[in-house]
Amino acid sequence: GQSLEQPSEVTAVEGAIVQINCTYQTSGFYGLSWYQQHDGGAPTFLSYNALDGLEETGRFSSFLSRSDSYGYLLLQELQMKDSASYFCAVVRDNYGQNFVFGPGTRLSVLP
């Protein structure tokens, strides 16, 4: 079976740092992706980790530990526009053919 866990909600203030965790148990694992979804919008790709360690893209960073079946998304210098749902997704094969999404974490950024 496929199982991904994320916190359901996180709240933080503008300018703060927030970490959204994701643990997974899947049949097949090639990498972990993160997506952002604003209300009423489509998921949009943020980052991808195939190897252990930290990947940094501007204010967003993503971390993966394959041995712990764990990853996180780190958002720095939070802005109001970062209020959205964030989904981790396991990429199950090396063609990027099969993705399984986590339940999502709703991030609310307060002024």
Partner 1 sequence: EPEVTQTPSHQVTQMGQEVILRCVPISNHLYFYWYRQILGQKVEFLVSFYNNEISEKSEIFDDQFSVERPDGSNFTLKIRSTKLEDSAMYFCASSDGQGGAGELFFGEGSRLTVL
- Judged by CB under 8 A, does residue 3 bind partner 1? no
- Judged by CB under 8 A, does residue 60 bind partner 1? no
Kindly report the length of the chain: 111
Among 3, 57, 98, 108, binds partner 1 (CB under 8 A): 98
Among 20, 73, 84, 91, binds partner 1 (CB under 8 A): 91
Q: Is 74 exposed, middle or buried (0-12, 13-18, 19+ CB in 10 A)?
A: middle
**Helical (H) or strand (E) element with 24:** strand 18-25
Q: How far apart are CA 102 and CA 92, in angstroms?
A: 13
Please report where in the chains the tokens 């195939």 appear, as a residue. 50
Among 32, 78, 84, 107, binds partner 1 (CB under 8 A): 32
Q: How far is the CB of 11 from partner 1 (least distance, A)?
A: 17
Q: How far is the CB of 40 from partner 1 (least distance, A)?
A: 9
Contact call for residues 70 and 88 (beta carbons, < 8 A): no
Residue ranges in contact with partner 1 by CB under 8 A: 30-33, 35, 37, 41-45, 48-50, 87, 89, 91, 93-104
